[in-house]
């Protein structure tokens, strides 16, 4: 057992935290207004070498595993989760391509992305993929956190598909994660690839859920920290508001939620990196992340009172962003299904033994 | 006997209010996206609906008390994600004038739209900590200080301003003054940019050596009580108005949860998910269970506001019940829309649908007119029998 990070992770974490603090945090309202991050920021981020940090070295990655990837997500999201999504041009679609198409297909898209700096891949959850995919796919996702896409990857309960054409993305206004962009996507086309394999769905979904859970982790950690510092500074009824138990205990509960979430995410990621089946753990971590987002986001606003409701402070943005992240990746109810199935199968194995 | 039923005339009033609120939905996104704009006094669609006074004519003594009906109307209005087709002619400052003004002052200023300026950058829940000062200089009060979060602060004709005439006297030194727009030294600093309720204008003010006539002191009493716990007559008068406004604010939050619930229910029905209450919980989908949970919570919260409003309508004390309603409504407007969004998934985040706005707009309910924490403090004092000095 070891709760300490290794040296590489510490250095990476520091580097990415500095990038987030210097490059993202001061500009978050600017990115929000623009609905994207600037190309020069993409260039600087990619120069740091974090783009495919969790992918094997022969694919151009750093071979550091999911655990490291999630730390990066967390650190970026502490500053701006929308920008974190924008900076990752392949995004969690990578896990679908990897799980179904294997390393060769993943390499193909990584190479394309490296050649075309404006290229983006978007992921949609397609509820219609409940059996073997058909020769054409058709449907719509009313909202995705992406302003554009050159490749659209769909993931369903039983399989996945990949479209290189045959879809239309139109900008819509959205509630959150503005820096990532905001669109409605309609698709009706013949997939370049279509796969039917429920076990690959589970593997991809586990990583996707942890990907979003880690972003939520960053948002709620920062919101909890910001509101805690505010409560120490703000005076009401003759003392800092942190001295009033109603708020002190709330601050403590928020802290516990953030800590608990971090441990669940790291444990699930470690299992996956070790080659174990982490699907149920990842689903549990994602459920916990959604609960954390519902608890911490609105309460960070609450601690700041009326100021929290104003766009002069970042907590209203945190509330919106973490709420939104918890609705991605298939959301709560599907995760509960999978976490429950994991528990049931563990129980039946126990009984059989 | 306890009876929660509504008469036919009451039902007709509420139906009319709902239809009018629905007509205001078409403007909701525009004002949500363009917070810099202030709503016109009325929209063209308003002519299709009778003014509220006309709707209320012909109700008998057997019908629901007016204060209770007002709460029900608020729930119905807020359940539609819209903007008011007609702007009310009064604001919070008018309630303060009614509660604490002299007969002469009420006659003189009652027809104006008056905002209420209490909160300051450094003083929110702790109203006695306000730093804005009023100093008597000849025949004028000279005001200095900053005010924020002034509801209707852009569109109002003037505002009631809380200021202290003697900081050493604590609450006793706090008085309220009428300041008209255009008075030299009174500046509208900005219109605030908010998470939600963007159609409602919220202003920040600055007062710099702002001189107002001596008779603009609300209530006219210049004496400063010493050693009195509750503060001056005008301070008390204003706090008293909260006992009615709190259930009303809670009703707003309930309306937001109700709107989110209705939207989720209708969308889920299109997807074939309909709540069957006879079905056991083990057969029910998570989305159907979510609908049941939200609905039960809405019902419970609604009953708390109805009770608080009913007590007020009977002239009975409702300090405890008003705070219970506000605390409960404040919780519901967070949990209800959030759970409804989960049942619908990522589509909830698109501005093509109203549901995310219900969450943002409702979020203020647990903050303004006393945060959830302040309500709990009020409730604790009431049920434990402590004064505000004994329990802080």
Instruction: Name the pLDDT band for B238 (thresholds 50, 70, 90).
Output: low
Residues 8-47 of B with CB under 8 A from A: 29, 33
Q: Which residues of A touch B149 (CB under 8 A)?
A: 306
State the residue for tokens 């971590």.
A285
What architecture does CATH give domain B92-229?
Answer: Beta Barrel (2.40)
CA distance, residue A193 to nearest chain B CA (Å): 25
Catalytic (active-site) positions of B: 369
Residues 171-230 of A with CB under 8 A from B: 172-176, 182, 184
Kindly determine whether residue A312 and residue B193, on different chains, have CB atoms separated by under 8 Å: yes
Q: Which of A28-37, A50-59, A200-209, A228-237 has the lowest mean pLDDT?
A: A50-59
Q: Which residues of B touch A176 (CB under 8 A)?
A: 349, 356
Instruction: Name the pLDDT band for B244 (thresholds 50, 70, 90).
Output: confident
CA distance, residue A325 to nearest chain B CA (Å): 9
Q: Which residues of B touch A125 (CB under 8 A)?
A: 345-346
Most confident of A9-18, A295-304, B229-238: A295-304
Q: Which of A84-93, A274-283, A301-310, B224-233 has the lowest mean pLDDT?
A: B224-233
**What's the Cα-to-Cα distance from A165 to each of A88, A161, A310, B227, rounded to whole Å?**
21, 12, 42, 78
State the residue for tokens 């210049």.
B222
Q: Where in chain B is the domain with CATH 1.20.140.10?
A: 235-384
Please say whether the beta carbons of A320 and A258 come within 8 A. Answer: no
Please say whether the beta carbons of B165 and B216 come within 8 A. Answer: no
Class of domain B235-384: mainly alpha
- Picking from B250, B310, B252, the residue whose alpha carbon sits closest to that of residue B4 is B310
Comparison of pLDDT for B59 and A129, the residue scoring more: B59
Query: What is the pLDDT, as a whole number, of residue B75?
Result: 97
Query: What is the pLDDT, as a whole number, of residue A128?
Result: 74
d(CA B205, CA A157): 55
Kindly determine whether residue B352 and residue A184, on different chains, have CB atoms separated by under 8 Å: yes
Q: Which residues of B touch A286 (CB under 8 A)?
A: none
Q: Region B145-167: what's the mean pLDDT?
A: 96
- Picking from A182, A124, A175, the residue whose alpha carbon sits closest to that of residue A148 is A182
d(CA B350, CA A178): 11
Query: What is the pLDDT, as a whole number, of residue B229?
Result: 58
Top residue of A305, A307, A328 to mutate, by most chain B CBs within 10 Å, is A305
**Nearest-by-CA chain A residue for B288:** A333
Instruction: Name the pLDDT band for A334 (thresholds 50, 70, 90).
Output: confident
In the predicted structure, residue B230 carries a pLDDT above the cut 60 = no
User: How many helices (H) and strands (E) are present in chain B, helices listed first?
Assistant: 11, 7
Q: Which residues of B touch A312 (CB under 8 A)?
A: 193
Kindly determine whether residue B373 and residue A324, on different chains, have CB atoms separated by under 8 Å: no
**What's the Cα-to-Cα distance from B270 to each of B273, B344, B346, rounded to whole Å?**
7, 11, 17
- Whole-model pTM: value is 0.93
Comparison of pLDDT for B387 and B392, the residue scoring more: B387
CA distance, residue A141 to nearest chain B CA (Å): 7
**What burial class does residue A31 get, using C-beta atoms within 10 Å of its C-beta: 0-12 exposed, 13-18 middle, 19+ buried?**
buried
- Picking from B238, B236, B237, B220, the residue whose alpha carbon sits closest to that of residue B228 is B236
In the predicted structure, residue A131 carries a pLDDT above the cut 80 = no
B343 in reach of chain A (CB within 8 A): yes
In the predicted structure, residue A1 carries a pLDDT above the cut 70 = no
How confident is the model over A142-176, as pLDDT tens digits? 999 999 999 999 999 889 999 999 999 999 999 99
Q: Which residues of B touch A319 (CB under 8 A)?
A: 195, 363
A352 in reach of chain B (CB within 8 A): no
Question: Token pair for residue A235?
Answer: 């005076």
Question: Token pair for residue A27?
Answer: 């500009």
**What's the Cα-to-Cα distance from A89 to each of A8, A211, A302, rounded to whole Å?**
24, 14, 34
Q: Region B297-310: what's the mean pLDDT?
A: 96
- Sign of torsion over alpha carbons A190, A193, A195, A199: negative
**% chain A with pLDDT above 70:** 98
Top residue of A333, A336, A338 to mutate, by most chain B CBs within 10 Å, is A333
Kindly determine whether residue A236 and residue B376, on different chains, have CB atoms separated by under 8 Å: no
What's the DSSP call for residue A57? Answer: G
B198 in reach of chain A (CB within 8 A): no
Q: Where in chain B is the domain with CATH 2.40.110.10?
A: 92-229
Show the domains of chain A with their CATH numbers.
7-87 (1.10.540.10), 118-196 (no CATH), 199-348 (1.20.140.10)
**What burial class does residue A247 get, using C-beta atoms within 10 Å of its C-beta: 0-12 exposed, 13-18 middle, 19+ buried?**
buried
Instruction: Name the pLDDT band for A134 (thresholds 50, 70, 90).
Output: low
**Nearest-by-CA chain A residue for B371:** A305
How confident is the model over A28-58, as pLDDT tens digits? 899 999 999 999 999 999 888 887 788 878 7
Q: Which residues of A touch B351 (CB under 8 A)?
A: 172-175
Nearest to A174 among B123, B349, B360 (CB): B349
d(CA A333, CA B282): 15
Please say whether the beta carbons of B203 and B150 come within 8 A. Answer: yes
Kindly determine whether residue A333 and residue B343, on different chains, have CB atoms separated by under 8 Å: yes
Kindly determine whether residue B367 and residue A294, on different chains, have CB atoms separated by under 8 Å: no
A232 in reach of chain B (CB within 8 A): no
Query: What is the pLDDT, as a whole number, of residue B152?
Result: 95
Query: How close are the terminal C-alpha atoms of chain A, in Å?
Result: 26
**Alpha helix segments (H runs only) across chain A:** 7-19, 28-34, 39-47, 65-87, 93-96, 102-115, 198-233, 245-273, 279-304, 315-325, 331-352
Q: Region B116-120: what's the mean pLDDT?
A: 95
CA distance, residue A219 to nearest chain B CA (Å): 17
Nearest to B33 among A144, A145, A173 (CB): A173
State the residue for tokens 């058709």.
A138
CA distance, residue B194 to nearest chain A CA (Å): 4
Kindly determine whether residue A323 and residue B359, on different chains, have CB atoms separated by under 8 Å: yes
Please say whether the beta carbons of B136 and B156 come within 8 A. Answer: no
CA distance, residue B112 to nearest chain A CA (Å): 26
A336 in reach of chain B (CB within 8 A): yes
Q: Is B185 left (phi over 0), alpha (psi -120 to 50) or beta?
A: left
Cα B11 to chain centroid, rounded: 23
């Amino acid at each position: 057992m070891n709760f300490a990070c290794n040296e590489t992770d510490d250095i990476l974490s520091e580097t990415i935290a500095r990038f987030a603090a210097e490059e993202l945090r001061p500009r978050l309202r600017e990115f929000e207004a623009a609905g994207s991050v600037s190309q020069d920021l993409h260039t600087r981020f990619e120069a740091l070498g974090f783009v495919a940090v969790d992918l094997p070295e022969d694919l151009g990655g750093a071979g550091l595993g999911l655990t490291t990837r999630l730390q990066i997500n967390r650190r970026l999201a502490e500053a701006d989760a929308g920008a974190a999504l924008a900076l990752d041009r392949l995004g969690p679609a990578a896990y679908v391509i990897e799980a179904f198409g294997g390393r060769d297909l993943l390499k193909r898209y990584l190479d394309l992305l490296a050649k075309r700096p404006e290229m983006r891949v978007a992921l949609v959850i397609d509820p219609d993929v409940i059996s073997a995919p058909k020769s054409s796919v058709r449907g719509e996702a009313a909202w995705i956190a992406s302003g554009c896409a050159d490749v659209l990857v769909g993931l369903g309960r039983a399989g996945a598909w990949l479209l290189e054409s045959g879809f239309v993305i139109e900008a819509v206004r959205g509630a959150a994660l503005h820096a990532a962009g905001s669109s409605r996507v309609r698709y009706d086309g013949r997939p370049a690839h279509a796969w039917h394999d429920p076990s690959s769905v589970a593997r991809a979904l586990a990583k996707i859920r942890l990907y979003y859970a880690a972003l939520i982790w960053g948002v709620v950690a920062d919101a909890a920290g910001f509101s805690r510092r505010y409560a120490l500074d703000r005076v009401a009824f003759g003392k800092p508001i942190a001295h009033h138990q109603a708020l002190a205990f709330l601050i403590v509960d928020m802290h516990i939620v953030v800590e608990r979430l971090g441990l669940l995410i790291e444990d699930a990621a470690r299992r996956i990196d070790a080659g174990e089946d982490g699907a149920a753990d990842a689903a549990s971590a994602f459920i916990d992340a959604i609960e954390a987002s519902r608890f911490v986001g609105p309460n960070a606003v609450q601690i700041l009172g009326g100021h929290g409701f104003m766009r002069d402070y970042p907590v209203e943005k945190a509330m919106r962003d973490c709420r939104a992240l918890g609705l991605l990746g298939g959301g709560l109810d599907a995760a509960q299904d999978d976490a429950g199935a994991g528990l049931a199968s563990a129980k039946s194995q126990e009984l059989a033994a | 006997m306890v009876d929660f039923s509504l008469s036919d005339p009451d039902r007709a009033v509420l139906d009319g209010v709902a239809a009018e609120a629905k007509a205001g939905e078409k403007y909701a996104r525009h004002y949500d996206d363009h917070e810099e704009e202030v709503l016109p006094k009325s929209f063209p669609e308003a002519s299709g609906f009778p003014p509220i006074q006309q709707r209320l004519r012909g109700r008998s003594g057997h019908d629901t008390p007016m204060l209770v009906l007002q709460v029900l109307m608020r729930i119905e209005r807020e359940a539609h994600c819209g903007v008011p087709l007609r702007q009310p002619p009064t604001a919070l400052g008018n309630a303060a004038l009614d509660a604490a003004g002299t007969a002469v002052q009420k006659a003189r200023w009652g027809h104006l739209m008056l905002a209420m300026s209490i909160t300051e950058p450094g003083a929110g829940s702790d109203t006695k900590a306000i730093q804005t000062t009023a100093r008597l200089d000849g025949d004028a009060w000279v005001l200095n200080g900053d005010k924020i979060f002034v509801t209707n602060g852009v569109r109002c004709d003037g505002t009631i301003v809380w200021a202290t005439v003697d900081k050493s006297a604590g609450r006793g030194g706090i008085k309220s003054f009428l300041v008209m727009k255009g008075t030299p030294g009174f500046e509208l600093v900005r219109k605030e940019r908010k998470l939600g309720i963007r159609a409602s204008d919220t202003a920040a003010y600055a007062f710099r050596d702002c001189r107002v006539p001596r008779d603009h002191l609300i209530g006219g009493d210049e004496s400063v009580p010493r050693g009195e716990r509750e503060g001056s007559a005008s301070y008390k008068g204003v706090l008293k108005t909260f006992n009615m406004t709190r259930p009303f604010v809670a009703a707003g939050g309930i309306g937001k949860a109700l709107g989110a619930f209705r939207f989720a229910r209708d969308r889920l029905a299109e997807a074939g998910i309909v709540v069957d209450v006879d079905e056991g919980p083990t057969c029910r989908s998570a989305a159907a269970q979510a609908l049941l949970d939200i609905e039960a919570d809405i019902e419970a919260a609604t009953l708390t506001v109805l009770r608080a409003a009913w007590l007020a309508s009977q002239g009975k004390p409702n300090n405890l019940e008003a705070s219970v309603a506000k605390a409960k409504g404040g919780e519901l407007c967070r949990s209800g829309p959030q759970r409804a969004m989960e049942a619908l998934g990522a589509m909830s985040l698109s501005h093509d649908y109203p549901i995310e706005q219900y969450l943002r707009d409702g979020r203020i309910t647990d903050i303004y007119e006393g945060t959830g924490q302040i309500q709990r403090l009020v409730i604790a004092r009431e049920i434990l029998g402590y004064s505000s000095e004994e329990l802080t």
